[in-house]
Structure 1
């Protein structure tokens, strides 16, 4: 019997691990979000005895490691070590949940069942959701692919993300599955009532929010998004910088000519992260200059008409030596988003959230061995760290009609960090602009997973998004999460081309609950859920017998 139980629990762990992995690309089986967590709950709630916490930790860790190992297998393209270490680390958060669910959060063991199905399900779901938040915050965080991401293609049920973020969607899904497991284990058919009620309530909220967003007054914005699909190896070794620049020039000028003929000329043109190979020089007083290769490209595309140009470039702190700008000795280097008006006035946003072991290596000066690890995994020498930017002021750009629109800037995977993006929220029309380059991961599921996570920022904050990728997913997303994606004739987003996005920008955008309170909602939910579980556990040990509540 013991061996049978062991293998059944292991099968349940595997089912949850594989099912959770399948929520995102390349599988995209979003319907599994409603059931994939259930087998793990069954396994964890079957544990008892003095070693239940450790057994629960082990089962949870294994399920999480399987899930993230399958989801993040694309990391092996750049770091075989990372493809093994990161899933094992992320599995620790599942392990903590497993220890909780097998002990204080276990509603099925003990003589007494003082807490109801609803309280037990909420406690379980809230603790899980708070752990998803924690892994997206701790040590700068990696919050990709929570259970709620499985709803990324479900327009109606993705809308509640504007309440508590993506972890809030995970809370909803785990709550429903916990109720389902409790109802079946306790043979309590009445558990179906709160399940159906919760689903109907979430669906009604989703429809209401979609209708509300569609009824807002908007101002039109046209943006030309350019993707050249330059392989990362080619960008590093094979392509001459002049070829890269010419590719952007040719694609942009051709698209601008077509737009003129169709009378759909864009207000903005957006190129991706690190589009231009020349550096941008900025002085403390706002003066700027750039390398000659950039000057030629910018002059050439300006012949296409008047528009605000946004692009990614490396920015250097500079000093003004007479009429010449030179890099400041010991000055910082930034990964920046550059916005240049039709009058060549320039603004830059300096990336905040740097990629560890990609753009910065903590303690690298005191632990030189870290450079060797980087060189072994990346295949190139470590060239120094970028500095992190400090401003949370949106950039400003105008439309051809003269409407000023705030630009919420993000670079690379910053569009998967909601606590960062929400800090740019202001009253008035705003658009999230993300520039990225997922070429490091070649034609793997990384780009599609990145986009699935990113487009929730438009829903959470109720601001549309424009996204230009060198290779990856170039797209526009409205405030309900509807997306228009650049693809080739076969439907692949790994393509070269341009997308003329027509974006209705709310002139008086709403302020979502998540926009107002950020992550505090899910943090308080987690604290409250844990407190309920611990209180109920103490009541079990000291309360009267035969006191049972099942609703």
Structure 2
């Protein structure tokens, strides 16, 4: 009875159902809740079953994209107004622009599906349509991730909701977040078809997909756990220096000394247990690196006596004649000598780099107010450490699966994510940042340690287990152990190549059948 009422509701109130779907999908992403995601899209796909014109599909996609973007990007308004030294109007303008972009892309995605889907109701046609919907969804997610790598607020993936489940997230080891999205869309679409056609036997298919994904996840989890336990690599005892500096912090002659003393005090606390590695957060030091830096000399006085290496975020001057800098992570030996450096690759558009090109003027005054011009780094490879290659992801780079894949080619032994979520510490982005790290750890099959200023810091195992999690606005030093390994990950591009190839094949079949009908 309830399912029949749902079907009637979506027929009579189709756009209301689409709005409900957008709200539920947004909640699943905000909470990183895989249960809600398993049925959120049913309210979207049911109205699509009644669509007879491409124009109707465009409306459905546009409404879904606009509502979901409006909810997921609400943080832009208060964050820009508060931290970018800007007016409320600019925040609203950026929010509306994100709504327009995402709405347009979903409209295009649904128009493509409506144009390509098979019209008959045979078993084979229904299976093809379910695959086409899932593949189009993944292809458009991949396109958004590629186009907006520097603007993660335009490339939310529904698959991130699965990161809340240790076992359901394991499929990311084979196909990254895109496989998680593909399976979710398949589940929701087949549920929708069963409800729309009242063919209850079809309900077995989404249940079978979910059960298979769970069982496969259990097997993958225990398999990688066993492999990681037998690698024989020694652990890396690590101290996380959680400075918890608020974004309003100003380093000047009035409070600079107090801030330095605070950081040096944390450093003294970090070396007490004689760790192998001390990790600071991204841009914890607001000035550019210099070999004669007094602060670094004071830090190395404490580490040299304990034989602790340290990695911290610090800017690198591009040249002496400009304000251009690289956003970098420096790796030092215990005496303060630079052993290696990693520069940020994917800069945050409108925050670190101008819109459209590096020489443009369209940028929010988060950093530009200080006269800094951040450029894409010159040294983006993994860094060499005494414990093997370390793949470094700076801040939003943990949301880019392609970077993890590239670092894996450098034969990394573990991953490090240094970030600064001070600008967004009051919003759900900090939680998403942490769970993006979980997916990167599963994809690469490497331990990933996170030090995220005012965000969620901790350690995620190669298996996806959360080894440690800290989220506090108070300064502290936390201890974690990293276990390096040389387990070879699966390149997720193989999954994407398969999806692209199968989609092209289905579109050729669809075109051939249409041509055959027209010529008959």
- TM-score of Structure 1 vs Structure 2, range by shorter chain: 0.7 to 0.9
Is residue 339 from structure 1 mapped to residue 331 from structure 2 by the alignment?
yes
Q: What residue number does 1:243 align with?
A: 258
- What secondary structure sits across from 1:233 in the alignment? coil
Q: Would you say the 8 A contact 2:271–2:303 is kept in 1?
A: no
Q: What residue number does 2:321 align with?
A: 329
Gaps of 5+ in 1: 260-264, 282-288, 318-326, 399-403, 545-551
Q: CA RMSD in A?
A: 2.8
Q: What residue number does 1:42 align with?
A: 46
Cα offset, 1:252, TM superposition? 2.8
Q: Distance in 1 between matches of 2:36 and 2:249?
A: 38
Q: Distance in 2 between matches of 1:256 and 1:170?
A: 43
- What secondary structure sits across from 1:360 in the alignment? coil
Q: Would you say the 8 A contact 1:315–1:333 is kept in 2?
A: yes
Q: Distance in 2 between matches of 1:16 and 1:530?
A: 29
- Aligned with residue 383 of structure 2, among 385, 392, 395: 395
Q: Distance in 2 between matches of 1:53 and 1:239?
A: 63
Cα offset, 1:28, TM superposition? 4.0
Is residue 137 from structure 1 mapped to residue 138 from structure 2 by the alignment?
no
Is residue 405 from structure 1 mapped to residue 388 from structure 2 by the alignment?
yes
Q: Distance in 2 between matches of 1:172 and 1:426?
A: 27
Q: 1:130 to 1:486 in 2, by over 3 A?
A: same
Q: Distance in 1 between matches of 2:45 and 2:507?
A: 15
Cα offset, 1:211, TM superposition? 1.1
> Where do 1:488-527 residues align within 5 Å?
492-506=471-485, 508-514=486-492, 518=493, 521-522=495-496, 524-526=498-500
Q: 1:271 to 1:532 in 2, by over 3 A?
A: same
- Aligned with residue 278 of structure 1, among 282, 287, 292: 287
Question: Could you report, residue by residue, the CA deviation over 1:142-169 in whole angstroms, capped at 9, with x for unpaired residues?
Answer: 4553111111110001000111110110
- Aligned with residue 107 of structure 2, among 67, 76, 95: 95
Cα offset, 1:437, TM superposition? 0.5
- Aligned with residue 452 of structure 1, among 417, 430, 435: 435
Q: 1:20 to 1:237 in 2, by over 3 A?
A: farther
Q: Would you say the 8 A contact 2:278–2:310 is kept in 1?
A: yes
Q: TM-score, normalised by structure 2?
A: 0.87
> Where do 1:349-388 residues align within 5 Å?
349-362=342-355, 368=361, 370=362, 374-375=364-365, 378=366, 381=369, 383-388=371-376
Q: Would you say the 8 A contact 2:266–2:477 is kept in 1?
A: yes
> Where do 1:119-158 residues align within 5 Å?
119-140=128-149, 142-143=151-152, 144-158=155-169
Cα offset, 1:304, TM superposition? 5.6
Q: Would you say the 8 A contact 1:278–1:291 is kept in 2?
A: no
Q: 1:501 to 1:379 in 2, by over 3 A?
A: closer
Question: Could you report, residue by residue, the CA deviation over 1:361-412 in whole angstroms, capped at 9, with x for unpaired residues?
Answer: 14568755x36xx34xx496372422212444311112xxxxx221101111
Gaps of 5+ in 2: 1-8, 81-90
Is residue 86 from structure 1 mapped to residue 98 from structure 2 by the alignment?
yes
Q: Distance in 1 between matches of 2:253 and 2:62?
A: 43
Q: Would you say the 8 A contact 1:308–1:397 is kept in 2?
A: no
Q: 1:512 to 1:301 in 2, by over 3 A?
A: same
Is residue 230 from structure 1 mapped to residue 245 from structure 2 by the alignment?
yes
Q: TM-score, normalised by structure 1?
A: 0.82
- Aligned with residue 293 of structure 2, among 291, 302, 306: 291
Q: Distance in 2 between matches of 1:129 and 1:291?
A: 48
> Higher RCO, 1 or 2 (CA under 8 Å, sep at least 6)?
1
Q: 1:112 to 1:33 in 2, by over 3 A?
A: closer
Q: 1:92 to 1:523 in 2, by over 3 A?
A: farther
Q: Would you say the 8 A contact 1:273–1:437 is kept in 2?
A: yes
Is residue 434 from structure 1 mapped to residue 417 from structure 2 by the alignment?
yes
Q: 1:268 to 1:183 in 2, by over 3 A?
A: same
Q: What residue number does 2:314 align with?
A: 313
Is residue 21 from structure 1 mapped to residue 26 from structure 2 by the alignment?
yes
